[in-house]
């Protein structure tokens, strides 16, 4: 059936009127802070206690915007007659956010969980040099890193948890077997009767 002439005009009016009664989508930042999704890429925090100065992040960074300085220290042997160990000590860890393209490769690549995404985004500066965040500032961002979002229902168990649980279960089973054995050992006859 052909549409009634002018129905398109009425439809147009209806659309605008309906939109008027709906809630607006205007974000009232900075009066109202935006609701950011989990895993928002705002700024990178450094948990420097975990950093071993392996330099993987600096090497993988496509922009080469991570600067790391370190020196080696020797740690005296833990046991008498043991070997002295050498340890990397972090002197400088800086990320230049004027170069960073927020790809997150450094965070992905870090084998020791020393880098994290933080949702904070209000760190604009008037001087571009101040966008290079040194290690103390990067350490401060760590306080703003949210807890990792909960896993989806029915999701596979995280590998480390699975491994830990398996080990614990194995241990418990061994202990139970040992206890049973020690309990059963004095009177083996009873068990047979039962």
Partner 1 sequence: MNDVLDVALRLIVVFVVFLTFPLIVGQTEHKVMAHMQGRLGPMYAGGFHGWAQLVADGVKFAQKEDVVPAAADRRVFQLAPAVALLPYLLVLVAIPIGPGEGAVGQVVDAGIFFVLAVMGVGVLGSLMAGWASANKFSLLGGLRTAAQLLAYELPMLLAAASVAMAAGTVSLPGILNAFEWWWLPWQIVGALVFFVAGLAELQRPPFDMPVADSEIIFGAYTEYTGLRFALFLLAEYAGIVVLCGLTTVLFLGGWHGPFGADGLGWLWTLLKTAILAFLVIWLRVSYPRLREDQLQKLAWTVLVPLALAQIALTGIVKVAIN
Closest CA to 133 of 184, 98, 84: 98
Considering beta carbons, is residue 28 or 126 the nearer one to partner 1? 28
- Under the binding rule (CB under 8 A), the answer on residue 24 touching partner 1 is yes
User: Strand order of the sheet with strand 132-133?
Assistant: 66-75, 85-96, 132-133
Count of residues of this chain found to bind partner 1 when the rule CB under 8 A is applied: 13
Minimum CB distance to partner 1, residue 15 (Å): 7
Our measurement of the distance from residue 30's CA atom to the centroid of its chain's CA atoms, rounded to an integer in Å, reads 27
- Under the binding rule (CB under 8 A), the answer on residue 158 touching partner 1 is no
Q: Which residues pair with 96 in a beta bridge?
A: 132
- Under the binding rule (CB under 8 A), the answer on residue 15 touching partner 1 is yes
54 is in an annotated binding site: yes
Minimum CB distance to partner 1, residue 3 (Å): 17
d(CA 92, CA 152): 38
Residues 27-56 that bind partner 1 (CB under 8 A): 28
DSSP letter (8 states) at residue 187: -
- Under the binding rule (CB under 8 A), the answer on residue 26 touching partner 1 is yes
Q: Which residues pair with 132 in a beta bridge?
A: 96
Task: Note the residues at the interface with partner 1 (CB under 8 A).
Answer: 9, 12-13, 15-17, 19-20, 22, 24-26, 28
């Amino acid at each position: 059936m052909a549409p009634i002439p002018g129905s398109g005009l009425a439809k147009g009016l209806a659309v605008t009127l309906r939109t008027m009664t709906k809630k607006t989508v205007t974000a009232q930042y900075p009066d109202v802070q935006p609701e950011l999704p989990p895993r928002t890429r705002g700024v990178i925090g450094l948990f420097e206690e975990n950093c071993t100065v392996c330099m993987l992040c600096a090497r993988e960074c496509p922009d080469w915007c991570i600067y790391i300085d370190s020196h080696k220290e020797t740690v005296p042997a833990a046991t008498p007659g043991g070997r002295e160990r050498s340890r990397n000590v972090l002197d400088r860890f800086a990320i230049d956010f004027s170069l960073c393209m927020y790809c997150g490769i450094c965070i992905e690549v870090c084998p020791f969980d020393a880098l994290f995404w933080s949702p904070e985004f209000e760190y604009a500066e008037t001087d571009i040099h101040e966008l290079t965040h040194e290690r103390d500032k990067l350490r401060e961002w760590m306080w703003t890193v949210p807890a990792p979002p909960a896993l989806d229902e029915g999701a596979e168990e995280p590998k480390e948890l699975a491994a830990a649980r398996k080990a614990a279960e194995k241990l418990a089973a061994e202990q139970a077997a040992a206890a049973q054995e020690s309990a059963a050992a004095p009177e083996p006859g009873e068990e047979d009767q039962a």
